[in-house]
Amino acid sequence: MLTPAPQADLAARIPFDRTRLDRLMDDENIDLIVATSKHNVQYLLGGHRADFFDYMDATAVTRYLPVLVYPKGQPDKAGYVGHRLEKWQTDANPLWTPQTVTASNGSADAMQMAVDMIKKVGLKPRRIGAEFGFLPYDAANVLRAAFPDAELVDASIVLDRQRALKTPDELRKLKFASDAVIESMQAVIAKHGPGATKRELAEALRREEVNRGLTFEYCLITAGSSLNRAPTEQRWEKGDILSLDSGGNYHGYIGDICRMAIQGEPDAELVDLLGEIEAIQRAAFKAIRPGALGRELYAAAEPLVARSRHHNHMDFLAHGMGLVSHEAPRLTERGPIPYRAEHRDKPLESGMVVSVETTLRHPARGFIKLEDTVVVTDGGHEIYGEGARGWNRGGTAA
């Protein structure tokens, strides 16, 4: 079904900074973007995400594929192709796109509908930006066959740059997610005494996050002196430390936090170790402000890591956070996920969000880490999920 959107207020209804996206596309000589990842489609549609395909994409012998078509400088020719099961959602909450088709069943037919949409409005793109990592082979073949004279390039970085500056609504969602993860961790720690398994703790954290309105994504968990972060049958016993590193998302926006706990009371060494990590975190926070170059975060934190007696077992990392973990700003190429550090020598801007984490893999005491979500504000920075930074005490055994 083709549903035309009202044109009179189109500019006011576009949910992203169109001027910014046009400029980013112009920088890469891209005429047309064909977005197919759920996170970028959600962003460009102002929050729409198919309920039926929220996480699972496979259906019968094909897969769900949302397709958002955006021509540079011509939002009146933009369009969206969704699955037929999205029709009820778009009927209840019409999208901003002038063309909305909710009739696809899989990946190839969704792309064919997008191609038909592009041709219907008379677009003849010379350079098409697609998301190579999120473009199925059969859909890519349809797109290439339809525009054999156009150059197909990867637009993933363009869209990543576009999402780097968060709107107030996006920031509210990130703050809610971060606060809810902290509250969930505190509840789990307080309710579990000696003998709880890591698997039980991870499942309890999942329930706490869901009960607070989050979608649980993961729990990386260690106990005692072990550095293994998988949920297992290992028990959290008296005197053992515990790390909880969890991502819970709220309407797609990820709260990614790590906090520490102990069954009993920490000794002086443990207090000092966590205090050292806290000092590194705070040093990095101070470098987060509008106009500061991305590398200044590392310049503030890495000398403290280097001076530590435990530097051979310690890592510092700062990365962007939002709809995707490790999105822009990208500050280092030496982290666990390889990408180009294009924001290392560029200024931070108000609205950017950075996850700051310091990790100590102590060979005798175990895994000790803090991770925080920090937003760049006009006046400096704000920490989301600020609480529970010390040694949180486990509950008593039932």
Q: Summarize pLDDT for 105-144 with one digit per residue, the tens.
A: 999 999 999 999 999 999 999 999 999 999 999 999 999 9
Domains of the chain: 2-163 (3.40.350.10), 168-393 (3.90.230.10)
Using omega within 30 degrees of 0 as the cis cutoff, is the peptide bond preceding 329 cis?
yes
Q: Which helix (H) or strand (E) holds 274?
A: helix 268-286
Q: Quick one: pLDDT band at residue 161, thresholds 50, 70, 90?
A: very high
pTM of the model: 0.93
**What is the Cα–Cα distance from 217 to 231, expressed in whole angstroms?**
13
DSSP 8-state code for residue 54: S
Contacts of 86 (CB under 8 A, 6+ apart): 50, 51, 52, 102
Q: With 50 as the cut, is the pLDDT of residue 398 above it? A: no
**What is the Cα–Cα distance from 17 to 167, expressed in whole angstroms?**
9
In this prediction, residue 269 carries a pLDDT of 98
Q: Quick one: pLDDT band at residue 101, thresholds 50, 70, 90?
A: very high
Specify the length of the chain in residues: 398
**What is the Cα–Cα distance from 216 to 184, expressed in whole angstroms?**
11
CA distances from 90 to 116, 144, 329 (A): 20, 29, 32
In this prediction, residue 6 carries a pLDDT of 53
**What is the Cα–Cα distance from 96 to 81, expressed in whole angstroms?**
13
**What is the Cα–Cα distance from 16 to 42, expressed in whole angstroms?**
11
Residue 315: HSE in the Cβ half-sphere, 13 Å Cα cutoff: 12
- Which residues make beta-bridge pairs with 151? 127
Q: Confirm if 353 and 320 have CB atoms less than 8 A apart.
A: yes
- Which residues make beta-bridge pairs with 263? none
Q: With 70 as the cut, is the pLDDT of residue 213 above it? A: yes
The type of residue at 374 is: V
Q: Confirm if 358 and 157 have CB atoms less than 8 A apart.
A: no
CA distances from 219 to 41, 181, 229, 270, 369 (A): 27, 11, 8, 23, 14
In this prediction, residue 302 carries a pLDDT of 97
In this prediction, residue 335 carries a pLDDT of 86
* Tens-digit pLDDT profile for residues 250-288: 999 999 999 999 999 999 999 999 999 999 999 999 999
Among the listed residues 259, 278, 275, 282, the one whose alpha carbon sits nearest the alpha carbon of residue 385: 259
Q: Where are the beta strands (DSSP E) in 166-312?
A: 196-197, 215-223, 235-236, 241-250, 253-262
Q: Confirm if 330 and 343 have CB atoms less than 8 A apart.
A: yes
Contacts of 2 (CB under 8 A, 6+ apart): 99, 100, 101
Q: Quick one: pLDDT band at residue 303, thresholds 50, 70, 90?
A: very high
Share of the chain above pLDDT 70, in %: 97
Cα-Cα-Cα-Cα torsion 159, 160, 165, 171, nearest 10 degrees, comes to 110
Burial of 237 (0-12, 13-18, 19+ CB in 10 A): middle
At residue 232, φ and ψ (nearest 5 deg) are -140, -175
Q: Confirm if 83 and 95 have CB atoms less than 8 A apart.
A: no
Q: Quick one: pLDDT band at residue 7, thresholds 50, 70, 90?
A: low
Q: How far is CA 290 from the centre of its chain?
A: 21
Report the pLDDT averaged over residues 224-229.
98
Q: Quick one: pLDDT band at residue 309, thresholds 50, 70, 90?
A: very high
Report the pLDDT averaged over residues 36-44.
98
